[in-house]
Amino acid sequence: MIKRFIAAFHKASPHVKGESPWARAWRRFIRHRLAMAGLLFFGVLVILALLAPYVGRYPPNRIDLRNAFSPPTWEHWLGTDGVGRDVWSRVVYGGRVSIAVGVSAVSISVFIAIFLGSVSAYFGGWADLLIMRVIDIVMSIPPLVLIMALIAIVGPSLRNTILTIGFLGWPGMARLIRGQILALREQEFIMAARASGIPPYRIILRHLLPNAVAPLIVAGTLRMASAILMEAALSFLGIGVPPPTPSWGNMLQEAQTITVLESYPWLWVPPGIAIISCVLSINLIGDGLRDALDPRLIL
Amino acid sequence: MITYIARRILISIPVLLAITFVLFLLSELMPGDAVVAMMSPEAPVSRAALETLRSQLGLDQPWPVRYARWLWQLLHGHLGYSFITFEPVTRVIASRIPATLELMGISMLLSLILGVILGTISAVKQYSLTDFVLTVLGFAGQSIPVFFLGLALIYLFGLRLRWFPVSGSHTPGAPPSPIDHLSHLFLPLLSLSIMRIAVFMRHTRSSLLEVLHSDFLNVARAKGISERAVIIKHGLRNALIPIITIVGLNIPVIFAGAVIIESIFQWPGIGLLYVKAVQQRDHPMIMGLALMSAVVVLVSNLITDIAYAYADPRIRYD
Amino acid sequence: MMRKAFLAALILVMPVFAFGAGDSETYVEGWLSGCGTEGSLWTTCTHRLDATVNQPLVAITWQGGLQPLLAESWEMLEGGKVWIFHLRQEVKWHDGVPFTAKDVVFSFNAYANPRAGSRWTSKVADILGYDEFQAGEADHLVGVEALDDYTVRIELKEPMPLWIKVKQTYVVMLPEHILGNVPPEQWRGHSYWAHRVGTGPFKWVEYVPDQYIKLERNEDYFLGAPKIKYLIYRFYTDAASAVAALENGEIDTTAYETTLIGLDEVERLDSIPGIDIVVMSKGMPNFLRLNLKKSEWADVRVRQAIRYAIDVDTIVDTVFAGYGKPAYTVFPQEWAIPDGLNKYEYNPDKARALLEEAGYDFNRKIELLFHYKDAVTRRALLAVQQYLAQVGINVELRLTDAATLHALQETGNWDMGYFGFGMGVDPALAEQLLKCGTIESGGYCNPAVEALFAKGVQYTERDERVPYYHAIARIANQELPQIWLWYAVRPLGFNRRVVGPYEHWAEQKIIYFNMPVYQEIEKWYIKD
């Protein structure tokens, strides 16, 4: 994908001597130590999640009532939870769910944002008016309340969690894209493209978006972090991923009493560390991307 | 410019209406209504009683009628009465806003101050150990789920150390005292602020870094001005401009209230009100709160867009 | 510099909390956010105020007996068809107005008034003239009559010796001089409920929304001025915060209307010096209700299969930490349960056989709806889910709120739900659960059961009632109109610095829901 952007960029812009901005950005990124650490760690989490069936030692939903609340042993590396399920397996499978929620929700947001944002900025006029108003509408409702209402209507499920979080995220990014494209629209190379009769969709796809996409990459990365946190918050309210499917958020929810906090730390420390470190690494990556692509970006 | 502002304000009105309509639809689509929401599934209610209550609340009317009625009321400056407590919605919201503004406002202010200070230190000592530690801590702070943080703080400061009370905004029945109030404010404030401090810290750091290496600061240095004055008087002032933008973007958040923090700490603000209104299907309350937050968001968006349009004339598309 | 300021602030603030919120004059109870100002006529969780501020004529006591309060004595005539109440004569409302028979007549009518829409109207439904009043043919209850200022005569439609215990104890006296001139439609939102005037041991002082209600002792209380000066009810939304408040002394008692303390927390909390836990029976079974209007659930073999498939004994031993008991029938009262009931011992093979025999479609995906938010219930249901999955029944757990739950049941758009039903005071209360046409029955209709319930309330002596309830219990065990799982328990926490709450609740053993309970609160005191 990156290669295609680079190629498109080369085709569209006046010929630049020396290395491309993307390569320069990549070099800047590599220099950012924390961001690289974040990338590495996130990579490890993703691999663990993908290999869950092999890494987890028990089926994550298998209940063993007589063995509940067992502390970490050789049998159960991270102990068992309130109904005897293996915590390690649940953390690993939960990673699948949480990361999937993060990635899918953001993909949905980005897709909608790119489409609506570019249409809005490029065509202007009524389309822009309408889309900006829709953005205003969605943004003016407190997010948690909107999600609560939506989930009350459609019922809690993994799919609905992804859809609602995704639906919440697009307005901010759409505005971003719109701002970028508005600024680019008046540049000479775009005017040249328009004058030479290239159809709008091509201008958008091949000329405008590749240049506008940088802040979106950063925003998307950061939104992934907040999507994972949002999933945890929804689980706290009881409207997140429904049992028995594990997610880091709903595993943390089991720890919502002082007793568990104090007496059974293996129930909340692993998912807590997992969320914090996953979100942390994503944030570090995002920070690195921002430094690499354009340090001036305010997101 | 004036026409731009006027046009935006004019457009805001149908947008407000649309927002209220969308929220009305959402409330309608949620299964159940206010009458059954307060029912305990363990205690029976006769159908006749349910119907009586429904007609008292006007819930037996078709929804277009109800929406029209609400609009009519609104035009007369009235937001109706709560379906659950029957208090006037305006009065309830007005009584709860101060608590929210207090918590969120102080949190924003505190985070801003601490964030800017820490960010400045981090930028000035770039690549040092201090910078590294602050960066990691900052990001860690941004990565903790807020309900978890709240509970952990309750456990640490409320139970283990017994330094702070764990709920409410003041000791019940006791005479109002600022110290008592502050101590109740502390834990929820801390939970909220940890994340925000990190955000402000990062932004301050990056924009200050950029300014620090710029030419006009070198000119100031060449003039012989002390490094400290250079950083604070010249550097920080310019670096703060983007920070102000962020504060502006966050104003609606101040009014939205922190739902989760308010329910963990029983802080009597708007967030708690909103959640209860949704759970209890209290339509007038939901609509009133939605209207309020919509107005806040529209106003702050308008201000932000005006600022952008002022700065960059190309954005004035119309 | 910031560090110093922080430390200074901390030091300033610390001493204030050395003492915690409850001092030697104030007793603080934890309560559920949202319950405070609901009126007695409609609420399911504000009945505490009906015991401390307002009162009934005769209240049920913590021992299950009767305590004359606003009625000094009463007479039962015509085998329980006519009741004469002799009212206490020195009583004044908290605002000074004397309490008289006028208030009693007004109050009973208020519960029956169709324009008020009281959810507890069924408690006065046995009074003569109720149906006409409800239908709009009469404008008051003819069966309630003031013979003079301090005597009230109530006539029922039929003799019902248990009426005073099973129905009258729910009816709370309201001031006619305040609400009498207000149209019934406006009672519900009236400011009275945010500043009650009653006759009870405590007077209303102030109400801060979502924070607390403060009451003060009534010096003129007819059973003697309470020893405690202030009673504060503090509101909580989050269970963990309420438990933390108990631990650090902010409240002295936790709420009983909902589960705040999980069964897995009992041991740790009980071992804290000064705090004791009583595990109360909720006086109710927890069960799976099925939508019997759907053919697959109407087959009794399927329901029995479900019960055989679940290992209730293990769940009670592990998830409930040994508290509570398995339930084989509807009644929690020991005397209403006969011997020889089918215990449905855990038998997954038999369950599968029954399902196949009934032609159950194993590909069905169903939702198990529930509204309890506490962790222990969630674990129990997870176990149920797994047991059912082992015999081929695939359920998805879905936590909903009361509104959604009711809506789904009304539209018939549901399969299975996990519920409880309060009947601690008397097994007669279970009638609603097995009655034709109610939502609570899930579509079950058995006229034989209805007839048995009708007979059961015609006697006062327990021995005479036993055969009817035993018969109902056997039918409930065989036919499983709801799938009885276990008897629910709820731990309550007490700070022993207050003498009275723990002692009375420990003796009470069962929680009486939705009614005021006399617990001698005027005798409670705080240890120095």
Could you read off the pLDDT of A155-178 as tens digits, one per residue? 888 899 999 999 888 888 888 788
**What pLDDT does residue C208 have?**
87
**Comparing A58 with C7, which gets the higher pLDDT?**
A58
Residues of A in Cβ contact (< 8 Å) with B297: 136, 139-140
Choose the closest CB to C382 out of A69, A156, A243. A243
pLDDT band of A54, cuts 50, 70, 90:
confident
* Chain C residues inside the 8 Å CB shell of B109: none
Contact B96, B122 (CB under 8 A): no
Report the residue of chain A nearest B318, measured CA to CA: A125
Radius of gyration (Cα) for chain C, nearest Å?
25
* Burial class, C386, CB count within 10 angstroms (exposed 0-12 / middle 13-18 / buried 19+): buried
For residues C474 and C264, the answer to whether their CB atoms sit within 8 Å is no
Residue C242 · residue C32 · CB < 8 Å:
no
Given a contact cutoff of 8 angstroms between Cβ atoms, the answer to whether C253 and C30 are in contact is yes
pLDDT at residue C492 is higher than 90: yes
DSSP-assigned letter for residue C253: B
Q: Give the span between the Cα atoms of B239 and B247, in whole angstroms.
A: 14
The pLDDT mean for chain B works out to 79
Residue A186 one-letter amino acid? E
Written as six digits, the tokens of C94 are 């908290």
> Cα(B237)–Cα(B212) distance, rounded to whole angstroms?
11
* Residues in chain C within 8 Å Cβ distance of A254: 375
**C447-456 and C462-479 are packed helices; what angle lies between their axes, rounded to 10 degrees?**
160
- Cβ-defined contact of B140 to A280 (cutoff 8 Å): yes
C149 pLDDT above the threshold of 50: yes
d(CA C216, CA A29): 67
Q: Is A149 part of the contact surface with chain B (CB cutoff 8 Å)?
A: yes
> What's the rounded Cα separation, in Å, for the pair C270 and A33?
51
Residues of chain A contacting C386 with CB distance shorter than 8 Å: 61-63, 244
Query: Considering only residues 361 to 420 of chain C, which have any Cβ-Cβ distance to chain B shorter than 8 Å?
Result: 371, 401-408, 419-420
With cut-offs at 50, 70 and 90, classify the pLDDT of residue A1: low
Coil, strand, or helix at residue C145?
strand
Alpha carbon A105 to its chain centroid, in Å, reads: 6
Average pLDDT, chain A: 82
CA distance A29 to chain B (A): 15
In this predicted structure, the answer to whether residue A16 has a pLDDT above a threshold of 50 is no
Q: Which two tokens stand for residue C25?
A: 């004059």
Residue found by looking up tokens 């129990």 in the block = C380
Q: Say yes or no: A46 contacts chain C, CB-CB below 8 A.
A: no
- How is residue B111 written in tokens? 């985070």
Using a 10 angstrom Cβ sphere, with 0-12 exposed, 13-18 middle and 19 or more buried, the burial of residue C42 is buried
Q: Give the DSSP letter of residue B72.
A: H
- Residue bearing tokens 């106003």: B299
Radius of gyration of chain A (CA): 22
> CB of B258 within 8 A of CB of B58?
no
* pLDDT greater than 60 at residue B313: no
CB of C288 within 8 Å of a chain B CB? The answer is no
Neighbours of chain B (3+ CB pairs under 8 A): A, C
Q: Where are the beta strands (DSSP E) in C181-274?
A: 202-208, 212-217, 230-236
Instruction: Over range C154-158, report the average pLDDT.
Output: 93
The alpha-carbon gap from B253 to the nearest alpha carbon of chain A, in Å, equals: 8
**Owner of token pair 């799982």:** C485
Chain C residues in contact with A239 by the CB 8 A cut-off are 399
ipTM: 0.77
List the 7-36 stretch of C: residues with Cβ below 8 A of B: 9-10, 12-14, 16-17, 21, 26, 28, 33-34
**Would the pLDDT of B229 be above 80?**
no
With a cut of 70, say whether residue C237 has pLDDT above it: yes
Q: What is the pLDDT of residues C348-403, one digit of tens each?
A: 999 999 999 999 988 888 999 998 888 899 899 999 999 999 999 999 888 887 77
The answer to whether the CB of C263 falls within 8 A of the CB of C321 is yes
Chains within contact range of chain C (3+ C-beta pairs < 8 Å): A, B
Q: Quick one: pLDDT at residue C13?
A: 44
d(CA C137, CA C126): 17
DSSP C52-87: HTS-BSEEEETTSSEEESSEEEEEEETTTTEEEEEE
Contact status, residue B187 vs residue B158, Cβ threshold 8 Å: yes
Q: How far is C153 from chain B (nearest CA, A)?
A: 26
Pairing relationship of beta strands C58-61 and C517-518 according to DSSP bridges: parallel
CA distance A294 to B152: 37
| Cα distance between residue B39 and residue C172, in whole Å | 19
Tokens of C417: 């739900």
* C78 φψ region: left (φ > 0), alpha (ψ -120 to 50), beta (else): left
Residue C330 burial (10 A CB sphere; 0-12, 13-18, 19+): buried
Quick one: pLDDT at residue A235? 83
Strands C416-420 and C365-370: parallel
Distance from CA of C265 to the nearest CA of A (A): 6
Chain C residues with CB under 8 Å of B39 CB are 44, 119, 402, 406
Confidence class of residue C34 from pLDDT cuts 50, 70 and 90?
Answer: confident
Cβ of residue C264 closer than 8 Å to a chain A Cβ: yes
pTM assigned to the model: 0.81
Residues 153-212 of C with CB under 8 A from B: 185, 188-190, 205-206, 208-212
Return d(Cα A156, Cα A242) in angstroms, integer: 7
In this prediction, residue A92 carries a pLDDT of 92
- How far is Cα A44 from Cα A92, in angstroms, rounded to an integer? 11
Closest CA to A120 of A170, A194, A191, A168: A170
Cross-chain residue pair C37–B53, CB shorter than 8 Å: no
Of C498, C425, C371, the C-alpha closest to C30 is C498
C-alpha separations of C17 from B266, C248, C426 in Å: 18, 10, 45
| Confidence class for position B105, pLDDT limits 50, 70, 90 | confident
Cα gap C263→B178, rounded to integer Å: 39
Q: Is C322 left (phi over 0), alpha (psi -120 to 50) or beta?
A: left
Mutate to test the interface with C, among A153, A158, A245, A257 (most CBs of C within 10 A): A257
Of B26, B279, B297, the CB nearest to A140: B297
- Torsion angles phi and psi, residue C85, rounded to 5: -105, 130
Q: Inter-chain contact B40–C402, Cβ cutoff 8 Å?
A: yes
Q: Can you spell out the DSSP letters for chain A?
A: -HHHHHHHHHHHSPP--SS-HHHHHHHHHHH-HHHHHHHHHHHHHHHHHHTHHHH-SS-TT---GGGTTPPP-SSSTT-B-TT--BHHHHHHHHHHHHHHHHHHHHHHHHHHHHHHHHHHHHH-HHHHHHHHHHHHHHHHS-HHHHHHHHHHHH---HHHHHHHHHHHHHHHHHHHHHHHHHHHHTSHHHHHHHHTT--HHHIIIIIIHHHHHHHHHHHHHHHHHHHHHHHHHHHHTT-SSPTTS--HHHHHHTT-SHHHHHH-HHHHHHHHHHHHHHHHHHHHHHHHHHHHH-TT---
